[in-house]
Amino acid sequence: MDAWIAIGAAVAAFLAWNNGSNNAANMIGTAVGAKVISLRRALAISALATFVGAMMLGKYVTNTVMRGIINIAALHSPIEVCAAMVSVLVAASIWTLVSSFIKVPMSVHACVLGGLIGAGLAIGAHVVNWGVLARIFISWLFVPFAAAGFALGMHVVIERAVSSRRGLQILVPVASFVAVFVPILLSLLKSVRVAASAVGLAAAAGLGSLAIATVLWRRAAAKHGEDLQRVSEEAMKILLIEAAIAMSFSFGSNDVANSAGPFAAILYSKGAVSGVEATIMAAVAVAGSFLAVGIVSWGSCVVETVGRGITLLCPSSAFVS
C-alpha cells in the first residue's frame, strides 16, 4: 500500500473516531440526561443510524469537502494534494481529541474547514474556493439564532400541549413528523437534485415516524389510564428517541465528509480507486465505520456535559433541545 494512502487512512479513521465520540452527545445527550433511555442503548442506536446515514447520503457532502473548498485540480502534484489533506486531518484530529478529553462539544466541521483554508493559503490563495466558503460562513451566522428561536417556540407549544390529553393527541403525531422530517429533508436537499424528490422522501420518513409514535403512544395511554403526567412523560420519551435516530442519521450523512473528504482527495490523487464516485464511497465506508465505532466506544465522554452539565432536563425540555 502507498505510504500516503496508509497515513491518510489512519488519520481519517482517527478523526472519524474522535468525531463520533465528541458529537454523540449532540444526538443522545438530552435523551440520556432526561433518563429516557440508557446510555448503552442510546449509543448503539445512534451508531447504527449514523452509519446508515453516512452510507446512504454521505457521498454528496464528501464530494464538496473533497474538491469544493480547495481546487485540487490546481495543485501541481499528487504529493502536494496528499500533504495538504494529511495536514488537515492531523490538525482536526488533535483539536477534536483535546475537546473530548476536556469534555467540551465542538464542531469538527469547523476544524476541517479551518484546516482546509490554512492548507490552501499555504499553497496559494488562488486554490481556495472563496465563494463556497462565504456561503458556508453566512449560513453559520444564522443557524444558532434560528435554532434558539425555534426551540423557544417549540417549548411554549409543548408545555401547553402536555397539560391535556387532547393536546397530547395532537402533539405526538405532529411533533414526531417534524422531528424526523426536518433533519432528513436538510440532509436530502444536499444530495437529491430535485427538491420535490427530497421533500417526498423526507415526508415518507416523517409519516413512518408519525405512525410508529402514534401506535406506541396509544399503548402507553391505555396502560397508564388517567395519569396525565405519566402519559405525557411516555409521549416525550417516544419523541426523544425518534428525534435522536433522525439526528444521528443526519449527522452521519453530513459529518462523515469531515474525514472522508480529505481522504477521498488522497485516494483520487493517487488513483487508488477507479472512478470518482467509487473513490468517494471507499472513503465514506472507512469514515462511516469509524464514526460509529467512536460513538459506541467513547461517546459517553461528552454526554454528561450536554445531558446534565448545561441545564437540568425533563423529557419535554430534552425533546425541545
The three-state DSSP-derived secondary structure of 13-50 is HHHHHHHHHHHHHHHHHHHHHCCCCCHHHHHHHHHHHH
Cell of 101: 478529553
pLDDT of residue 251: 94
| pTM of the entire predicted model | 0.87
For residue range 198-231, list pLDDT tens digits in order. 889 999 999 999 999 999 888 888 887 777 778 8
Counts of helices then strands in the chain (DSSP H, E): 11, 0
- CA distances to 88, 137, 180, 317, 318 from 155, rounded to whole Å, are 39, 28, 17, 7, 10
> Among 116, 94, 57, 81, which Cα is nearest to 5's?
81
Domain spans, the chain? 3-320
For residue range 118-130, list pLDDT tens digits in order. 999 999 998 999 9
